[in-house]
């Protein structure tokens, strides 16, 4: 098993093919997911990211009129899925690890589990806002920002646990990734402020960054150039999504706070149906990938939603 940064370094200037998958909904079958992603193994991704889905809250009104808050998790199983990927495909899993929903002690326990499983990579994130709330609330004694979480993982990498720091304690050896936003994180006042916080993530120990999806390569090129100007020199892996339905034209900008290029918008809006929209999405992504490869990106990272078809349709043309 190896670290993401080692995979990038050993790819000899050629971009690496990598994917992100999501665990099945609770009660789903892991075999169905593994079968769904198996076709992508022909492209030999050296690592696979597995998202983490934090708890959600539902409110139930009781007979006496009081309201009970119930904590539920729709997509558990990130750690088990990572283990299954290692055993079935012999590929490095990259579990996502969140601030949201975790105390620092729980984070430490999770990292110990990952370490025992032989997992050497983690993507450290603040995490989405817990539904149905509209703002991010850290746990009491949890982390508020990804940079703090990265700091805790870096400490463990040096054998410093939360409440124990003896020389006999073994250190973990995680390669830590962080998230980056070519079109600015939606909560940041402006892009310069966002860059200052991104710099903190790297200073805390993030060894590489993966971007939010984007459909306009210029946003990525400008972003990488500004990273370098701000003294951020770690690899910046572009995150890509193949537009697969007409509806995604409206949904993706709303969920991920991104701009859809006008040419893509017009072409997809004029498409007769989803099949035609998907063909346009594939072709658009192929062109994006070719331009990104010419630019010299370290990897092309696909947000697959645990489906193979569109990612394969693109990747077979560009790798
Ligand atoms: C590659 C990738 C993978 C993802 N995977 C998941 C996943 O598996 N599960 C999930 O729930 N979500 C996931 N997300 C979504 C992510 O959790 C959200 O975008 C979240 O809102 C921000 O996470 P972050 O790690 O970038 O946060 P942070 O880096 O903590 O930044 C969050 C906001 O706080 C600001 N900020 C940072 N530090 C400070 C500071 N010290 N003081 C004040 N402001 C600060 C930043 O500018 C930004 O606006 C992913 C996103 C990406 C790009």
Tell me what pLDDT residue 166 has.
Answer: 75
3-state class percentages of the chain: helix first, strand second, coil last, to nearest 5: 40, 20, 40
Ligand 1 near 192 CB (within 6 A): no
Overall average pLDDT of the 224-234 stretch: 97
Ligand 1 near 188 CB (within 6 A): yes
- 9-22 pLDDT tens trace: 998 889 999 999 99
Tell me what pLDDT residue 28 has.
Answer: 95
Tell me what pLDDT residue 44 has.
Answer: 95
**Ligand 1 mutation target, pool 126, 213, 241, most atoms within 8 A of CB:** 126
Overall average pLDDT of the 193-202 stretch: 97
Instruction: Please report which residue ranges of 158-299 form alpha helices under DSSP H.
Output: 191-204, 217-229, 248-256, 262-269, 274-295
Longest Cα separation, the chain: 67
Ligand 1 near 98 CB (within 6 A): yes
Ligand 1 near 267 CB (within 6 A): no
- 20-56 pLDDT tens trace: 999 999 999 999 999 999 999 999 999 999 999 999 9
Going from the Cα of 12 to the center of ligand 1, the distance in angstroms, rounded, reads 31
Residue pair 65/76 in contact (Cβ under 8 Å)? The answer is: no
Strand partners, 123: 96, 177
Going from the Cα of 146 to the center of ligand 1, the distance in angstroms, rounded, reads 6
How far apart, in whole angstroms, are the C-alpha atoms of residue 146 and residue 125? Answer: 5
Ligand 1 near 81 CB (within 6 A): no
The answer on pLDDT for 165 being more than 90 is no
Nearest alpha-carbon partner for 236 in 187, 181, 316, 303: 181
For atom 10 of ligand 1, the residue with the nearest CA is 127
């Amino acid at each position: 098993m190896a670290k993401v940064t080692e995979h990038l370094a050993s790819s000899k200037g050629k971009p690496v093919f990598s994917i992100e998958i999501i665990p099945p909904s609770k009660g789903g079958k892991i075999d169905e997911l593994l079968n769904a992603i198996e076709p992508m193994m022909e492209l030999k991704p050296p690592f696979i990211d597995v998202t983490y889905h934090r708890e959600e809250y539902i409110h139930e009104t009781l007979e006496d009129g009081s309201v009970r808050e119930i904590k539920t998790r729709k997509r558990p199983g990130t750690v088990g899925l990572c283990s299954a990927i290692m055993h079935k495909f012999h590929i490095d899993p990259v579990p996502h690890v969140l601030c949201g929903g975790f105390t620092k002690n729980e984070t430490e326990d999770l990292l110990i589990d990952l370490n025992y499983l032989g997992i050497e990579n983690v993507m450290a994130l603040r995490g989405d806002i817990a539904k149905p709330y509209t703002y991010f609330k850290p746990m009491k004694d949890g982390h508020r920002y990804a940079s703090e979480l990265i700091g805790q993982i870096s400490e463990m990498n040096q054998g410093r646990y939360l409440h124990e720091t003896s020389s006999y304690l073994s250190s973990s050896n995680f390669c830590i990734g962080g998230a980056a936003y070519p079109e600015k994180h939606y909560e940041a006042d402006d892009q310069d402020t966002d860059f200052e916080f991104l710099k903190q993530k790297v200073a805390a120990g993030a060894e590489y960054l993966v971007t939010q999806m984007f459909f306009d390569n210029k946003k990525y090129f400008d972003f990488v150039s500004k990273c370098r100007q701000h003294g951020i020199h770690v690899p910046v892996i572009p995150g890509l999504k193949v537009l697969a339905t007409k509806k995604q034209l409206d949904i993706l900008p709303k969920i991920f706070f991104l701009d859809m290029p006008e040419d893509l918008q017009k072409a997809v809006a004029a498409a007769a149906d989803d099949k035609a929209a998907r063909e346009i999405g594939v072709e658009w992504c192929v062109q994006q990938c070719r331009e990104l490869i010419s630019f010299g990106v370290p990897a092309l990272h696909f947000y697959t939603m645990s489906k193979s078809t569109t990612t394969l349709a693109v990747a077979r043309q560009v790798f």
